[in-house]
Structure 1
Amino acid sequence: MPFGRHCQCGKCRKGSHQTRAIEKMKGRNYILSVVLLLLALRLVAQDLSIKRYADTIRYEMKYGRIIVPVTVNQVVYRYILDTGGQTATIWEEAKAMGGQLTGASKVTADMNGKANMYSMGRLPEVKIGSNLKLSLTTIALPDIKGFRELGVVGILGGDAFKDVVMALDGAKSELRLYYPYRPKGLKLSDGIPLAYSETWHVNFPLSFSGASVQVMFDTGVPELLTMSEKDYLFLAQTQAATVVRKGRGTLGAGLEGLGEAKPLKQVKMGEFALGGKSFQNATCLVAPNVPTILGAELLKYGVVTIDYPRGRFYFQPYEEASADLAKAAPIWDVSILPAHGRFEITAVWEPLTDRLNIGDEVVAVNGKDITRLLLSETTISDIFDRLISSETTITMKRGNRKFDIPVHRR
């Protein structure tokens, strides 16, 4: 039966009480509309009150490390950007910044997986870019020679960016910070969900020829890929990872110094894709007790955006064409680092594993004496970077005997 202002009740033949019911319903709808409107206006007002910003910070790339300026108490310092680490500062420098000790904690702050008890501190009035201002918890570090050589006072971890969206553009050497939203064009549904991490590490699944493992995007590692022994064994079952050659040694020096020598593998990986871009024939180093890492070399191929508040990882390639990495990152038959007051062999690969030992002293490279050079990682890195050929000779010393060994980059 139609129901309206001029309709009559079937019992009393009057429409007045029906009219009152309609008017009461309209009144309720009006009140509800007003409440919803006020709520919407409040949300809009809150949104307008949020300070939105987009900062661009130029960074320097030095020996594969991203170095960014950070202002503390109105003084500019330089830090290594390390998304796989926790913020840590040489405490002598932190005290000059006005830092205060707050306690101690056991921290795994080392690329070799070593943990130690470190004092913890707090840095006041930290500013990254023009708008990101915070008080920052930091690990208190002893004086580290490698940091001094790079001209930095520590590492800046993902914990510093937990409230913002961070983009890294390798082509422009730019760190871009956005708050509170992502840059235009990036949808939440397009990002790779991040696994929960109390230390704000960027962990997500990555598939190699259809088999998936968890990787950590870590700007503190220069190489494109390093992998744990456990993940390699899993991928090898589906032929998504095959051994190219074997070796022995350590992947490098961490905060706790050189790691113990371990079995190493150089492995060819199955195809993987990020942001629609395919990567083929990538090689990586495999070692026990290290995480599987996607390193800073990824920035050669596209822009990485990390939405920390919403837990998303984005990769926007510079070119859509597949990247064939078969010859992208050859490595030398040996690794040499300063240790025990001299330059020593810290890793050796086939076919030299039967001729050289970990800890052997190196006294010359390409016929040039290195015993009087500054004992540092950057010194030996510069020597090998300047070599044009993929072959050179290193001079070894065992006791009173010296001998030459040809080494190759492959």
Structure 2
Amino acid sequence: MTKKTSKNRFRFILLINTLAVNLCVFSQSPKEQLAIANAAKLVSKNFYEEVPFTDKQGYIIIPVTINTHTYDYIFDTGGFNTVTSEIMKNANLLPLMEVEAGSSNKIKSKIKLSKVPSLQIGQTSFEDVGVFNFDFSVSPVINCYTNGGLIGKSVIREAVWQIDPQKSVIKISDDLSKISIPDKSEKIKIRLDKTLNPFLTLIINGKKEDFMLDFGYGGLISLTEKTASNLKMNNPLTIEGEGDISANGTVKEKTFAAKLEQLSIGKTELKNQIAYYSASNNYNLLGSELLKYFIVTLNFKDNELILSPYNDTKADFETFGFNINLNNDKIYISKIFTGLNAQKAGLLVNDEIIRINGKQGSGISNCENYFQYNNILKTEKEITIQIKRGEEQKEFHLLKNTPFN
């Protein structure tokens, strides 16, 4: 995780929401379905190891080996484990049942549920791991982050994991005492629900609210519409276009952003933080941007989260006033922030991006273009963007806004 400020984090990170919680009856009972979905067994004993991870715009990418093939996986505390159809074929995995799974943006789909006999993260071995068969075909941008899928909560529950953003390593053990906990760390109680979603209580604008710890969400705070209403958010910013991107697809809806008066996680207060909310959100989420401020130790077997602060807890928020997404053919404007520079200049949702600051992605993949453009949007203070709208091409020069200052 970068040590730089997170002022662009929410602005440019896609929200890959968790495969979650609605398992519906087909030929098996919900209890039988859930038993497979939650299945995982740690095989390694008396061990400690360090596994490097890659930070891809806020998402933790780790190597996972299945049947001698190693894949890039998103480490997702709020998600179920997944495999692609290619992995199903390579590992000779058989579908055990079909279920209906919903994402936290409420889109549902019917998918196959299977088990992986054995997988490794580094040298740490797990057996009998329940997995959903997902190819992310309706959300192709997810495949820019992973060619495997999600490593989720059933595997995470089986071991102790310390995510160190300063060293870009995850320390894994079967014994908390084998992992060094920095001074001034704080233990925070978590609760696992029947689908192993981890919940904790935060104080936000003076009120206690329950949040799911979800590293499949690339920002810091996402709220349900009900929570946002109860908190009486002041002067929210309206965002038009696409809502959250999930494994099941994307909804078209308004999203809102507001500056929090107060956000406390345990004894630590995070300052100048922005919360996002929309009608489709099922849960309040605490996401992977937590790693901008803390070394995070996950000890789900003992129902605890250990936070070790290492960075300034004050954030700044800047944006050009738009988000981008991709499909199989193009990279395009997916969201427009009402009243900010992009909208004032005349950019529209669905405008196709041709180049930004002269950078045109000829000869490289859509994913490489996507990451290149996001890096420009993250690091630059002003841009020239060329777009295509129908048969017409247009050029815009934009400066960043600081809307909540």
The TM-score, its normalising length taken from structure 2, stands at: 0.76
Say whether the 8 Å CA contact 1:169–1:303 is kept in structure 2: yes
- Counterparts of 1:150-169 in structure 2, within 5 Å, are 150=145, 152-169=147-164
Give the deviation of 1:250 after TM superposition: 2.2
Alignment partner of 1:137 is 2:130? yes
Deviations 1:124-165 (A, max 9, x none): 122234344222111012365545544531111111122222
Q: In the TM superposition, what whole-angstrom CA distance separates every residue of 1:37-94 from its partner, at most 9, and x where no partner exists? A: xxxxxxxxxxxxx943333222122232211122223443321111121111112123
1:274-306 Cα distance to aligned partner (Å, 9 max, x none): 353321111132222223222212112211122
Indicate the SS of the match to 1:323: coil
Q: Contact (CA 8 Å) 1:248, 1:353: kept in 2 or not?
A: no
2:331 alignment partner, one of 337, 343, 347: 343
Partners in 1 of 2:265 and 2:383 — Cα distance? 36
Aligned match of 1:127 in 120, 126, 131?
Answer: 120
Which residue among 382, 386, 407 is the counterpart of 2:398?
Answer: 407
Residue 289 of structure 1 aligns to a residue whose secondary structure is coil
Give the one of 49, 56, 63 matched to 2:50: 56
Q: Which runs of 5+ in 1 are unaligned?
A: 1-49
CA contact (8 A) 2:118 2:125 kept: no
Task: Report % sequence identity.
Answer: 20
Q: Distance in 1 between matches of 2:213 and 2:369?
A: 28
The equivalent residue for 2:287 is 295
Query: What number of residue pairs does the alignment pair up?
Result: 349
Greater relative contact order, per chain length (Cα 8 Å cut-off, separation 6+): 2
Amino acid at match of 1:77: Y
> Taking structure 1 as the reference length, what is the TM-score of the superposition?
0.75
**Partners of 1:194 and 1:312 within 8 A in 2:** yes
Q: Are positions 1:272 and 2:268 aligned together? A: no
Task: Extract unaligned runs of 5+ from structure 2.
Answer: 1-43
For residue 392 of structure 1, the aligned residue among 352, 368, 383 is: 383
Query: Partners of 2:347 and 2:93 in 1: how far apart?
Result: 46
Q: Give SS of 1:219's match.
A: coil
Across the aligned residues of Structure 1 and Structure 2, the Cα RMSD in angstroms comes to 3.0
**Aligned equivalent of 2:82, options 71, 75, 88:** 88
Q: Distance in 2 between matches of 1:276 and 1:100?
A: 47
Contact 1:80/1:152 (8 A) holds in 2 = no
Structure 2: distance between partners of 1:148 and 1:265: 27
Alignment partner, residue 211 of structure 2: 215
Please say if residues 333 and 408 of structure 1, whose CA atoms lie closer than 8 Å, have aligned partners that are also in contact. Answer: no
Counterpart Cα distance in 1 of 2:217 and 2:54: 15
Correspondence for 2:231: 235
Larger Rg: 1
Task: Name which of 269, 285, 297 aligns with 2:276.
Answer: 285
Deviation, 1:185, is 6.1
